A and B are shown apart, each in its own frame.
Chain A
Amino acid sequence: MPERSVTAQPGMVPGSEPTAGTMFAALYGTLTPHPWRAGQQDADALFHHRCLAIGLLDDTSSGQPDSAPWLWAINDAGWQHPRGLDTGLVAWFQVEASAVAGDRPLPVQPFLRCAQDATARAGTLELSAVQILLPVHGIDPSRRPPYAPVPALRSVAWFAAGDPHAHTPVQVSVNSGQDPALAAVAAQLTDQLTRLDQTAFTNVSHDSADPDTAPPPPFDDSFWSGPPLHGATLRGDLIEWTCDAIGWLAEAVANCAARLGGASPLLLTVARTAGHADAG
């Protein structure tokens, strides 16, 4: 066995492909298992196969010569709260997001699409909130080309074709953990979201006295810069209560936060304050 250096430190293999960072999604609400499912379906397996099916999974680490780089690599997923708490959590998914291209958003929409599809395979989901850890530090605003300063805007027209009665009032909690930066720019974040040429998230407001009612994240503080000490609570109307729209909003918030100098992971929680539509 080769001798190991006592001064060696953990690190990254030289020449590693860059990644954006850890993305984590927690779905809250109720999940009624499908009656045809005997036993529990493995969340990780369902998520893995769904991501493969729609071509989103980074499988390069499997060492196969013909595998293609995609949007993320899967770490884990589950139905139970990792710390055994009763918070209404019904499913969680953890991935390592690949490096974000200059004209693409952090891929939160497809991430939540896979997460929701995997969950819907196990049961009927009634979604009350979605919590996402966003690796904002993996976004480089200086690499945004002039035609895509906020890449999420390139897909926002999708939502305009939806049911005009599906607007849902939501509370959006954004937290930067121990990093006080987010709270300091909450007003600018609200202003940037308001000024975007979009109709997916409207009537945006921020009140510093608005209490943060987001559930505690289902992962340990060491997983990000927790605990969630510094944040802001926004309110607004989401164009539809779907994981797609929530993912779009998360992409826009992550981009705006990066433009405002955010360099820490952000914990984003979107909860509906009045229900109109089912997730889907």
Chain B
Amino acid sequence: MINCLYEWYTDNSWRQKACSATKELRPYTGSGDRTVARRDCHSTARTSWRNHVDADVIGEIDTAEKPYRQADVDCRVD
């Protein structure tokens, strides 16, 4: 499992700004398995971000689908 952060640019592109390390997660146990991608903000200007998750299910053929979550956050990386 890996997740990456993408910042929206005014040319309508999403540009990758950080990715987590690849991590093998157990089925959900509530015990705290997750991947984390972080970047420090350069300013607090409101900016659109997407967090893409790419899961590779062990022992199964993966689909190309990469689920994402999108949010506007007071964090801008130049």
B64 in contact (CB, < 8 A): no
Give the interface residue-count category, chain B: 20 to 34
B46 touches A8 (CB 8 A): no
List B42-60 residues whose CB lies under 8 Å from chain A. 42-48
Contact bitstring B20-43, A, C-beta under 8 A = 1, else 0? 000000000011111010001111
A211 in contact (CB, < 8 A): no
Main secondary structure of the interface of A (DSSP, over half): loop
A82 to B, closest residue via Cβ: B38
Main secondary structure of the interface of B (DSSP, over half): strand
Binds B, one of A15-23, A156-164, A227-235: A15-23
B42 touches A22 (CB 8 A): no
Decide yes or no: A135 and B71 within 8 Å by CB, A41-B32, A44-B34 being known contacts: no
A209 in contact (CB, < 8 A): no
* B73 vs chain A, min Cβ distance (A): 6
B11 touches A265 (CB 8 A): no
A8 touches B9 (CB 8 A): yes
The one of A17, A22, A39, A41 in contact with B73, judged by C-beta atoms closer than 8 angstroms, is: A22
B contact residues around A96 at 8 Å (CB): 71-73
CA distance A137 to B74 in the complex (A): 11
